[in-house]
Chains A and B, each alone.
Chain A
Amino acid sequence: DTGVSQNPRHKITKRGQNVTFRCDPISEHNRLYWYRQTLGQGPEFLTYFQNEAQLEKSRLLSDRFSAERPKGSFSTLEIQRTEQGDSAMYLCASSVEETQYFGPGTRLLVL
């Protein structure tokens, strides 16, 4: 069990650019979640997968955000045409049942 890993750990980009983040879950976990966290707030749910199927997506999630989990293993989260308001920590978590195991997060700064 090597834990959940996320890459990159930090990303600085200019407004309007596209960015992609990767999450590698714990290998036997079938559920994978993406969250956004801003300063002083708890994790805000974005989307989740069960195996390769994306089962739910937050209604607050802009169409600029898309996520994939092509083989039911790692996942990517892409943000197109980034805006300054996208600056946040993006957290990935995996689970088998109710307990979530979080990665260290990717901190995004949009200039």
Chain B
Amino acid sequence: GDSVTQMEGPVTLSEEACLTINCTYTATGYPSLFWYVQYPGEGLQLLLKATKADDKGSNKGFEATYRKETTSFHLEKGSVQVSDSAVYFCALFSSGGSYIPTFGRGTSLIVHP
């Protein structure tokens, strides 16, 4: 079945450092890929998405590129802020028609001033 693997956290960075959170997936067909963010005490919010190979999703300075050859969708940001501290979830939505997304376990990001 479909699966998503994320790097384990927590990832601890100083403000203005570069961020990469790795995400790889296994899926049949051509899934759509997503990054969601969850702030403490809240539900998940869509951060960005990409629906086909080589697409780049971007939002709020974050970006991720859909790499079919490496089955990856790594999240990057050039300069993190304290307000980026949250848990980040990689997810896929398979084109197989099940309409059920698969989520990774989440990666906690802590940014210190």
Q: Which residues of A contact B (CB under 8 A)?
A: 4, 31, 33, 40-43, 45, 48, 50, 55-56, 91, 93, 98-105
Contacts and interface: CB of A to CB of B under 8 A. Distances in A.
Contacts of A105: 42-43
B44 A43 contact: yes
B44 A91 contact: yes
A56 B32 contact: no
Nearest to A101: B46
Given A56-B98, A98-B93, A104 B104 contact: no
Q: Which of B34, B42, B43, B98 has the most CB of A within 10 A?
A: B43
A42 B98 CA distance: 19
Contacts of A98: 32, 34, 49, 51, 93, 101
Nearest to A105: B43
A40 B43 CA distance: 14
Interface of B: 4, 32, 34, 36, 41-46, 49, 51, 89, 91, 93, 98-101, 103-106
Most buried by B among A31, A42, A48, A100: A42
A55 B105 contact: no
B85 to A, nearest CB: 16
Contacts of B106: 40-42
B86 to A, nearest CB: 13
B105 A100 contact: no
Given A42-B89, A48-B99, A56-B98, A102 B104 contact: no
**Residue of B4, B32, B44, B49 with most partner-chain A CB within 10 A:** B44
Given A42-B4, A43-B89, A91-B44, 5 more contacts: A99-B34, A99-B49, A100-B46, A102-B44, A105-B42
Contacts of B104: 42
